[in-house]
Homo-oligomer: A and B are copies of this chain.
Amino acid sequence: MWQYKTSLAWQAGKKAEARVEGKPPLAVATPPEFGGPPNTWSPEDLLTSAVESCLLTTTLFHLERAGVTLKTYSSEAVGTLDKTSNGLAFTGVSVDIKATVATAEDKATATKAITRAESTCLISQSVSFPVELRVQVTVAEDA
């Protein structure tokens, strides 16, 4: 069992500071569509990014075990919030992943690792909405 401790201090208006001991503080706020400021991370951003970043950390875990190193990895995620029978809730997060590796053999391993991350990512396992992946792994031309 592992535990993750965070804290929050409301400042003014719709803004607060989110903290984790020993880590940089992060300003958070209600998103603009619900009356908050435009340039501050919202809880909705945090959730979308939690899903997105967990896919990377889980992929890195599987790749390390397989002895394969990525050359590049980037992703774009979209979290969708909608009215449901339980009120406002996320109805899905889609993540578009692009990665490059050195060889065709690594490509097969990396594709498998990312696909495996989809079903083993602990954040995906902790949310009530589907997480959809699009994965594009290519062999880097300069490899």
Contact = CB atoms under 8 A, between A and B. Distances in A.
A3 B127 CA distance: 17
Copies in the complex: 2
Q: Is the interface of A mostly helix, strand, loop or mixed?
A: mixed
Interface string A39-71: 111111111111111101100110010000010
Contacts of A102: none
B79 A3 contact: yes
A81 to B, nearest CB: 4
Contact of A45 (B23, B79, B81, B87): B23
A6 to B, nearest CB: 4
A20 interface: yes
A101 to B, nearest CB: 12
A30 B86 contact: no
Interface in A1-44: 1-10, 14, 16, 18, 20, 22-24, 26-31, 33-36, 38-44
14 contacts: A2-B81, A3-B80, A4-B79, A5-B76, A6-B52, A7-B75, A10-B74, A22-B39, A23-B39, A43-B50, A87-B122, A89-B125, A90-B122, A127-B128
Interface of A: 1-10, 14, 16, 18, 20, 22-24, 26-31, 33-36, 38-54, 56-57, 60-61, 64, 70, 72-84, 86-90, 120, 122-123, 125-129
